Structure 1
Amino acid sequence: MPFELCNAGTTFKRFQLKVFGPYIGKFIHVYLDGFAVYGDRRLHFCSVRAIFERFAHHECFLYPEKCKVSFEQRLISKKIQQILEIMNPLNVEIVLSLMGMTTYHNRFIPNLARASKPITSLTVKDVKFYRSLECAKALDYVKERLASDPI
């Protein structure tokens, strides 16, 4: 499929969803031009095997000279490290900054909006800024999820 076509990206994405659909979010993340397989070390071989079986089933071909395979351990990025270092937000500006930083990672944190509701409630206009125990628990949950795999 030539990528010069105006709908080539959408067509390719639809194809990826068809091929990898059952595994997306479980142990594979698809990008426009590739994919990443992640998960527990013990199950990784099974995950990779399942991906190759899907390729074979859908008659997809991989060209070794175009493939890049790397094995990486998760490294905590500087942005995530900044979030992990935030103790308790002291004012609305810090809360807004914190929520802005975590929003980028929301697809990796299940129920982020629900879990961070006590934190976001601090940003409501004309409400006194009060850090409750629920806020501390919500912040701990977000930090724990950011520090855990897969990100």
Structure 2
Amino acid sequence: MEKEREYQKLLQTLKVTDTPSFERLEEEIDIVYHKLKFISIESRPRVTLVSNIRELSQDFSALTQEALEIGGGIWQSITDIRHAEKIIVVQRDEQLYSDLPVVLQDDALAQSPAAVNNEIYVIQHEVLEDTSANGFLKQVEVFAEIVQSKYFIYGHQGQDWVQFDLR
């Protein structure tokens, strides 16, 4: 039996405790699924989400990982960051903008498809800290805008995330 996904658990809880939130979340996620159903899994980019750029660490909930996958990406472990096609770094302070160029000079990162193709993104930590149904939906929207930008525009760019231009 396949393990129960955290998103499904969230839906089940909302169905009992908050029917309007349940209906909205289910409807919005169904729209994302519908738009992405024509993109094969093999064609989806490998995405590494980095919680701390200084330590190259990855500390996220299973729900956040699912939000990235629902948004159209394939979760890439930090240990395989050199193969990532997109790298999303969480911004907790302004120091990130001086640390990021230094870290990206590491040979493995500099040669990664994400760095070569200028696919480095910065996401605000507040987006990932909200564990409510609305917070989860916002995570999916932000990840969809970054990972599948041809298909999704929710208006979060510039406020909740930005592209880090390497050039």
TM-score computed with the length of structure 1 as normaliser: 0.27
Q: Identify the structure with the greater strand proportion.
A: 2
Q: Identify the structure with the greater helix proportion.
A: 1
Structure showing greater Rg: 1
TM-score computed with the length of structure 2 as normaliser: 0.25
Higher RCO, 1 or 2 (CA under 8 Å, sep at least 6)? 2
